[in-house]
A and B are shown apart, each in its own frame.
Chain A
């Protein structure tokens, strides 16, 4: 079983469309994240949820809306897609808040979004 799974893996769409990426983790973790990796491989946090509560919300356009129906799921919906949204989006989870001795991030395989 994949620990952190996200779908779809590839997404090609036109500007102006709305799309969603889904993420599920079966590790029993309390915290989930969305990261964006650009073409230069720079990885930047977008959102984080802890026990379904939004705790990190970086400077992200409000066209991006995360939703966590339960601790095991964190979805990302993007409205009115723009060319600059093209990137690889990674879902991740951690047992505790990231960074500490128990804050290892477990990443999904990524969802490559291409906006034409």
Chain B
């Protein structure tokens, strides 16, 4: 069974602080995605990373893919209350019976207080 460990599970911070969420596995991903989910809605894709060592920026969000493609991180600078939500990483393990199947991490519930 391929597992994706996401940490921390809960994060409660003040507006303006920085934070990092981690996603780790012992297996190699063909690609990794980060999603954000708000209450009562489905997850929405933030980014897909494919190449080892890749860094992508989305405004105040920075996504990194590990060189070995086994881990990823999401860093948010100067968090705002609007960043509050559930953040999910999801890895794809290409090949064999796993092709096309995304495995999700346990999620990080982020609360940013004004």
* Residues of A bordering B, CB below 8 Å: 4, 31, 40-45, 48, 50, 55-56, 90, 92, 97-101, 103-105, 107-110
Q: B residues within 8 A CB of A99?
A: 30-31, 33, 90-94, 100-102
* Contact B50–A55 (Cβ < 8 Å): no
Q: A-B pairs with CB below 8 Å: how many?
A: 81
Known contacts: A40-B106, A41-B106, A104-B33. The answer to whether A97 contacts B100 by CB under 8 A is yes
* Contact B107–A97 (Cβ < 8 Å): no
* Chain B, Cβ-Cβ closest to A92: B42
A55 to B48, CA, bound (A): 23
Q: A residues within 8 A CB of B65?
A: none
Known contacts: A104-B45, A105-B43, A109-B41. The answer to whether A98 contacts B106 by CB under 8 A is no
* Chain B, Cβ-Cβ closest to A42: B106
B44-82 residues with Cβ-Cβ distance < 8 A to A are: 44-45, 48, 50
* Residues of B bordering A, CB below 8 Å: 30-31, 33, 35, 37, 40-45, 48, 50, 86, 88, 90-94, 99-104, 106-107, 109
Main secondary structure, interface of B, reads strand
* Contact A107–B91 (Cβ < 8 Å): no
Q: B residues within 8 A CB of A90?
A: 42-43
Contacting residue for B48 out of A40, A101, A107, CB 8 A: A101
A89 to B93, CA, bound (A): 23
Known contacts: A42-B107, A43-B107, A99-B31. The answer to whether A109 contacts B40 by CB under 8 A is yes
Q: B residues within 8 A CB of A4?
A: 42
Q: A residues within 8 A CB of B42?
A: 4, 90, 92, 107-110
- A11 CB to closest chain B CB, in angstroms? 15
Q: B residues within 8 A CB of A50?
A: 100
- B29 CB to closest chain A CB, in angstroms? 8
Q: A41-B86, A100-B50, A110-B42 are in contact. List 6 more A-B contacts (CB 8 A).
A: A41-B37, A99-B91, A103-B92, A103-B102, A107-B44, A110-B40
A42 to B104, CA, bound (A): 7
Known contacts: A4-B42, A42-B107. The answer to whether A56 contacts B88 by CB under 8 A is no
